Amino acid sequence: MGAWYDEIFDNHTRLGLRVKETLYSGASEHQRIEVLETIGFGRVLVLDGVFMTSELDEFLYHEMLVHPAMTTAPEIKRVLVIGGGDGGTVREVLRHAGVERCVMIEIDPMVVEVSKRYLAKIGTAWQDPRLDVRFIDGVEYVDLSEDEPYDVILLDGTDPVGPGAALFDESFYAGCKRMLVPRGVMALQSESPFMMMDVFADTQNKLRKLFAQVHPYLGPVPLYGTGTWSWTWCSDMGGPLEADTHRQEAVVQGSKAYNGDLHQAAFALPNYVKRALHREHSGA
């Protein structure tokens, strides 16, 4: 039947997938990289023992990271993606006809190389002429780049451990803001409020110091442990619910999850999340 591969969250919780075959196993200078052929989730990318994305449920994650920002930003000509080496995020960005240039900054070329080879069903836009992939550290890029600012910035990092940890620092978010046009929108994956409330709440706090509008939203990603995942929409202007209906209608065709109702509903938060955010906000 094949062996189990477990992602271990802490001493008490782990998620196991039955593996038919390990398609790739290696290490880059940054991390351990594996691609598993699983029975339940199709091909799964694993970085340093953490499940990153699967053929089965990647659309739930990538569509929800990308489209709430891409349908609400005033302009979407220039888009920056930091992380996202499997190619799912840029694939969704490039479905928007209004995008002229999408720069993807990925620290680890080996993740892209392995993803192109084994996860071709996820990364279907690598050949798009609007895409510019650069292998550099995202922190360094947002601190030092003299590129024109972006209309939309999307952060598709790993958990806050290993090479992805710096993508949760306040100074990194400040660098991102420096690279955003004044009316721009940034969206990021912000971990699970259910499993990692401390990281989730801490992230909201850091973002609130920098942006006038910070709105977390939730959705299911079954691969990520207990399933509840969060992303956060940030801007200095507007709000996350004021979507451009033309852009939205165009992208809903062909989306497996994203639509206008889901967009609105995702920003409705359960009480345990609201209360945690209120506590953080009021310092109580």
* Residues at the contact surface with ligand SPD, assessed by CB under 6 A: 50, 52-53, 61, 84, 86, 88-89, 156, 158-159, 189, 224
Task: Tell me which residue of 133, 154, 147 sits closest to 81, measured CA to CA.
Answer: 154
Residues contacting residue 28 through CB under 8 Å, at least 6 positions apart: 108, 109, 110, 111
CB of 119 to ligand SPD, least distance (A): 10
Residue in the structure block whose two tokens are 């991102």: 176
| Cβ closest to ligand SPD, residue 112 vs residue 181 | 112
Q: Which is nearer to ligand SPD, 22 or 228 (CB)?
A: 228
In the complex with ligand SPD, which residue's Cβ is closer, 19 or 119? 119
Decide if 18 contacts 26 (C-beta within 8 A): no
* Residue 157 vs 240, nearer CB to ligand SPD: 157
Minimum gap (Å) between residue 257 Cβ and ligand SPD: 15
Choice between 189 and 232, CB closer to ligand SPD: 189
CA–CA gap between residue 36 and residue 15 (Å, rounded): 14
Q: Which residues are CB-contacts of 187 (< 8 A; sequence separation ≥ 6)?
A: 65, 66, 68, 69, 152, 153, 154, 155, 231, 232, 233, 234
CA distance 45 to 47: 7
Burial (Cβ within 10 Å: 0-12, 13-18, ≥19) of residue 204: buried
Helix (H, G, I), strand (E, B) or coil at 73: coil
Spatial separation of the C-alpha atoms in residues 260 and 57, rounded to whole Å: 20
Instruction: Give least dist CB 51 to ligand SPD, A.
Output: 6
**Smallest separation, CB 154 to ligand SPD (Å):** 10
- 48 in active site: no
Comparing C-alpha atoms, which of 140, 236, 137, 157 is closest to residue 199? 157
For helices 170-178 and 197-208, what crossing angle results, to 10°? Answer: 40
The tokens describing 52, both together, are: 């990153």
Distance between CA atoms of residues 140 and 157, nearest Å: 15
Q: Write down the catalytic residue from 156, 159, 198, 236.
A: 156
Report the residue number whose CB is nearest to ligand SPD. 53
Q: How far is the CB of 146 from ligand SPD (least distance, A)?
A: 27
User: Minimum distance between the CB of residue 148 and ligand SPD, rounded to whole angstroms?
Assistant: 25
The smaller minimum CB distance to ligand SPD, of residues 155 and 180, is found at 155
Q: Could you list the active site residues?
A: 156
